[in-house]
Chains A and B, each alone.
Chain A
Amino acid sequence: MDDRQLGQLFHDAVEDVEPTDRLMAIRQQTRPRRSPRRYVVGGLVLATAAAVTGIAIAARPSTDPGPGPSQHPTATDSGTDPTSAVAAYYIGETPQGDRLFREFHQTKSQDTLASALRSLTTDAFDPDYRTFWPDDAFTGGWIDYPRGLATVLLNDASLHDRPAGMTDAQARLAIQQVVYTVQAAAQQRIPVQFQVEGKPIDQVYGLPTSEPLTNAPELDVLALVSISNPTEGRTVEGSFSADGVASSFEGTVPWELRDADGEVVRRDSAQGTMEDHLTPWETGPIDVSDLPPGTYTFVAMTDDPSGGEGGGPTTDTRTIVIE
């Protein structure tokens, strides 16, 4: 056995190790923290939902279909904790004012609710999103399936009152951030009770919370289009596919791929359905093998037959890197 063979053995031993893409996570750690958090004024009035429904939420834990770096099992996975995805809902701007966008985060924790709540107190990968929950907001939570109730533990009573500069609409959206995120972790539309030190807290951000809270209707609080894949900063090679959820005119979700100069290099539309809640869409494989390597932006939109009269389409974007 010579050096060449040993070299081959070493390369072969790790050939199927495909690292997850952590560029965005690294960027998060290397850029100045965005603080203090800004509470942008938005004119959104949320309907209060009274009914608790039993509809399973469309939270797909599949994080990485399609080719390219992925988490397929490898020979070395025996030494790695299994990862799963949790959905976290962040605030982003839309023509309808601030709305909730869904982003998936990898976690190694068995406690998906705690992981999801932790996501809410950290910056989203997508730089367009923000959160209304400070670093130390939550200490945890649990889901009581038999009783159909989720409990979220606040660290202390410091969030009892509404901070200066936060509007009523933003406070409501903040609460819905938690309700939707918890329901995604529970995979059920169950109500959420806020607690501090083992007892229900009567207010959070100045809104009444003595009783369990339900989700507002999707079409009132969610962004009308949201991208699940690709994830922000994902590296792709050859081709990729995109998917997400939307509520768009006739179920049509136009999408574009733009290069670093904003030039559209691919354009098509995905077809979903149109109902009273968001429904899944997917593009199928998008061939990018002839595009020069670099940073691109994938944009998914709602269809806007009014030509902009209603404020224009809702968009969601993801940065991808083509190798």
Chain B
Amino acid sequence: MEVTLDADTALEQLYAAHWRRLVRLAVLLLRDQGVAEEVVQDAFVAMHGRWSSLRDPDKAAAYLRQTVVNRSRSALRHRGVVERYVARQPAPGNAEAADGPSLVADRRTAVLDALRALPTRQREVLALRYYLELSEIEIADALGISRGSVKAHASRGSAALRALLTDHLDEGNL
């Protein structure tokens, strides 16, 4: 069935379907929500401009993912993002009350911190695999690397992440 959407309608539908998830993906990659939103906004604008060659919602979704990952990587190169984040980190050893919400917040912070500690490629592969639940082939396409590399980054990355997150995984409070 041939369905032809104009760029504006496609933009609205893709926005409704993917905006939130892509921003969350970008937060996993970048940590900074404001920058994440800007990166994803730019990706949607770029997708709209290329709609005449994409013309298919699935292809457009793949293009969006790829653009978000690429632009997140460029944003990280602007060291400001990392530095601003580091400057705002609370001092270590700040003993919060050990109640539920703060344990949850701790766990979330720990996951984002651990991701940030990984090499960029590993972080990207893991976010696409565990958050977007993409297959190896889809990840390879999105990142422009071979399936073998995806496998290698995934296994090294998840081993490193497991090591960093042992405490939070052993609590069994998920």
Measuring CB to CB, which residues of chain A are less than 8 angstroms from any residue of chain B? Answer: 1, 3, 5-20, 22-23, 25-27, 29-31, 69, 74-81, 83, 108, 235, 295, 321, 323
Contact = CB atoms under 8 A, between A and B. Distances in A.
Contacts of A3: 130, 158
Contacts of A20: 37
B41 A76 contact: no
B97 to A, nearest CB: 16
Given A20-B37, A77-B33, A1 B162 contact: yes
Contacts, number: 123
A148 B100 CA distance: 49
B84 A13 contact: no
A17 B165 contact: no
Size band of the interface chain B makes with A: 35 or more
User: A1, A7, A29, A80 — which one has the most chain B CB atoms within 10 A of its CB?
Assistant: A80
Given A20-B37, A80-B32, A235-B16, 4 more contacts: A6-B161, A12-B111, A19-B36, A75-B112
Q: Which of A9, A29, A74 neighbours the largest number of chain B CB atoms within 10 Å of its CB?
A: A9
Contacts of B7: 30
Interface in B19-41: 19-20, 23-25, 27-28, 31-34, 36-37, 40-41
A227 B27 CA distance: 32
B127 A79 contact: no
Contacts of B28: 10, 13-14
B118 to A, nearest CB: 13
10 contacts: A7-B131, A10-B131, A13-B28, A26-B11, A75-B109, A76-B108, A79-B31, A79-B88, A80-B32, A80-B34
A235 B18 CA distance: 13
A11 B33 contact: no
B33 A79 contact: yes
B45 A30 contact: yes
Contacts of B127: 10
B111 A13 contact: yes
Contacts of A11: 131
Interface in B121-151: 126-127, 130-131, 133
Given A30-B7, A75-B105, A76-B33, A9 B88 contact: no
Contact of A30 (B11, B84, B126, B168): B11
B34 A108 contact: yes
A30 B169 contact: no
A231 to B, nearest CB: 15
A79 B165 contact: no
Contacts of A323: 16
Contact of B111 (A9, A27, A29): A9
A19 B19 contact: yes
B48 A26 contact: yes
Contacts of A10: 28, 111, 126-127, 130-131
Given A10-B111, A26-B11, A81 B34 contact: yes
